[in-house]
Structure 1
């Protein structure tokens, strides 16, 4: 249990708050975490940004924000929050590609966190 708490802390996530959402069940959390990485919201966000479709980009980012927040992936959640609000207003901005790159990098870190939990390794 302490190793799991340490892994959450090293990743930047709140173990207690996250595990409350999953009734304290690590197996349940890991199942839902795997499902999170099967979702295509990240790819939809990138494709919508490439196409200049800010409405579709907002929808994908908003979904990613909610799911990453529910999964306790705080660093990814924070990165997604930075793009959601400007997209909500439909404002065209030149920094969307940079914000998306930050999200992609945090997504990779979250995936590494997931794999470390499954192996029982520290992050």
Structure 2
């Protein structure tokens, strides 16, 4: 999955956050696959070279499915924190990041791809401003 980069919007930010301080294949891949399975997605990874496609998990759908950290934890089965000192649950960080993206009009993978091409918007989304 790492080579293909999880490109579904809901799965992509999940992958980015859950890879903080974690062994990718042992921790990140299973988390992303559990979320994908919850949405009945067979393969959560799509190469960036694939042209536009319908996003099966736009952020609103992801956030509706997981309205709380506890709801996401129930699916991911991963209680890791972003840091060993004062970190928050990675599930909580995932939901916060999804909300920041949504607040900056990033709703689908196509929006995310456009975001990466626009440095000003990307900087705003990255910093939460």
TM-score normalised to the size of structure 1? 0.32
TM-score normalised over the length of structure 2: 0.31
Bigger relative contact order, structure 1 or 2, given CA contacts below 8 A and separation 6+? Answer: 1
